[in-house]
Amino acid sequence: MNRFITAAILTTLGTAAFAESHAMAPMVTAADQSVANGIVSADMVTAQENGWLVVHRTDAEMKPGPVVGHAPLRAGENTDVAAILTEDVAPGDMLMLMVHSEAGGMETGIFEYTLGAKEDGPIKIDDKLVMQVITAQ
């Protein structure tokens, strides 16, 4: 095989592998929104495994606070993920939408996390939480 064809094949394979690895990087995309209907939504959530989109209260310190909602996630890209809020959220409240794992709990498919627990805990990449902070409108 000539070296130009070999180089083209290697470039194509490398580009596909790069795109696939970046497509699966966990992330949350969401914007400030009204929560008057009792729901908060993420436009897109990418998860490396089945898990949860968890809605935490937060503030200017950007530390995750109590959980006020959650929704299941499938491994891969999830669009328009809606979490039903379990507490009242007022306009101006800051919410942290975070990717959590399904691992470590006693039951699959049951959200078992409580603040600080290891069951169904937060996913971290390079020791950073996978999350997006929004403000309720």
What is the phi/psi pair of residue 52, to 5°? -140, 145
pLDDT, residue 2, reads: 55
pLDDT, residue 95, reads: 98
Q: What is the pLDDT of residues 69-87, one digit of tens each?
A: 999 999 999 999 999 999 9
Instruction: Report pTM.
Output: 0.82
Q: Would you say 41 and 84 are in contact if contact means Cβ atoms under 8 Å apart?
A: no
Residue 129 has pLDDT above 80, yes or no: yes
Domains located in the chain, CATH noted? 26-135 (2.60.40)
Q: What is the pLDDT of residues 23-56, one digit of tens each?
A: 579 999 999 999 999 999 999 999 999 999 999 9
